[in-house]
Amino acid sequence: MSLTMRPGPLAGSPGDEVNFTIDGPKHRLFMHDFPRRVRARFAGETVLDTVRGQLLHETGLLPVLYVPEEDVRTDLLERTNKTTHCPFKGDAAYWTIRVGDRAAENAVWAYPEPKPESAWLRGRMAFYWDPMDAWYDEDEEVRGHLRDPFHRVDARASSRRVRVLRDGQVIAETDRPTLVSETGLPNRFYIPAEDVRRDLLRESATRTVCPYKGEATYWSLDDAPDAAWSYEEPLTDAAKIGGLLSFDHEALTIEADPPREG
């Protein structure tokens, strides 16, 4: 994401001040080695096991892992009639994974005859993330997608006064927020639960997974669904925001004072 989304250098139009130009197409491909072992399991079988994976960064898209065909359980794959065309990579073929009575339709793709400018895709296959039962980076299970090595999450203690209001009513107010800067996203303030009007919130059934921060629990206000979220058990990189709440909804106004002097 950090390379291929604004303001990354491989985005279609990075937009920041630079003293260089990139001689190439607006839509850019960049592939590099992924440094660790990756496995994917489906229906009790390891269908992918590689230490030779490569991440493909493509303008406007999340990175995708491509692995040598030799590192895939091709005996569990069935070629399908599905094909798609990419003007930058070529014509993709698809395979269904079948193990016993379970199948993941068109869950694997490859470019058997890639375009000359992306010839390095030949002999490599890619898997859709969600149909798999589990993914492992070395021996740690990962959710959401593999971590982009160019993506960062920085959580910093702050003394800025932050207020969250709805129609003039204070929902949260603090002078001890944690400011989270994450590649490609706007800064977010996370507020201690003690500084939030928890009596105005009700827990939502919504859950999302961030591969950098963990699983998020959401909270709603009347007529403002999923207006707040928290990471009760964040991943190591986001440990500082455990149990804190952040807010974002069109019905809310979020005010943040400038940093104090001194």
Same domain, 133 and 184: no
Task: Give the range of the structural domain holding residue 208, as residue numbers without chain letter.
Answer: 153-256
Provide long-range contacts, Cβ within 8 A and 24+ apart, for 2-5.
Answer: 2/148, 2/150, 2/151, 2/152, 2/183, 2/184, 3/30, 3/57, 3/148, 3/150, 4/28, 4/30, 4/57, 4/58, 4/59, 4/60, 4/61, 4/63, 5/60, 5/184
Give the position of tokens 């070395």: 138
Amino acid at 200: L
Whether residue 6 is contained in a domain is answered as: no
Whether residue 244 is contained in a domain is answered as: yes
Report yes or no: 30 and 8 within 8 Å, Cβ to Cβ: no
Report yes or no: 47 and 105 within 8 Å, Cβ to Cβ: no
Q: How many domains does the chain have?
A: 2
End residue of a domain, out of 92, 119, 142? 142
Whether residue 159 is contained in a domain is answered as: yes
Span 183-216, pLDDT tens digits = 888 999 999 999 999 999 999 999 999 999 999 9
Whether residue 12 is contained in a domain is answered as: no
End residue of a domain, out of 87, 112, 142? 142
- The pTM for the full model equals 0.83
Q: How many residues does the chain have?
A: 262
Amino acid at 17: E
- Give 7 or 238, the one with higher predicted confidence: 238
Distance CA 19, CA 4 (A): 19
Same domain, 160 and 100: no
Same domain, 35 and 124: yes
* CATH of residue 167: 2.170.150.40
Span 73-110, pLDDT tens digits = 999 999 999 999 999 999 999 999 999 999 999 999 99
Same domain, 34 and 133: yes
Same domain, 127 and 201: no
Give the Å distances, CA to CA, from 151 to 22, 60, 76: 21, 14, 34
End residue of a domain, out of 123, 142, 161? 142
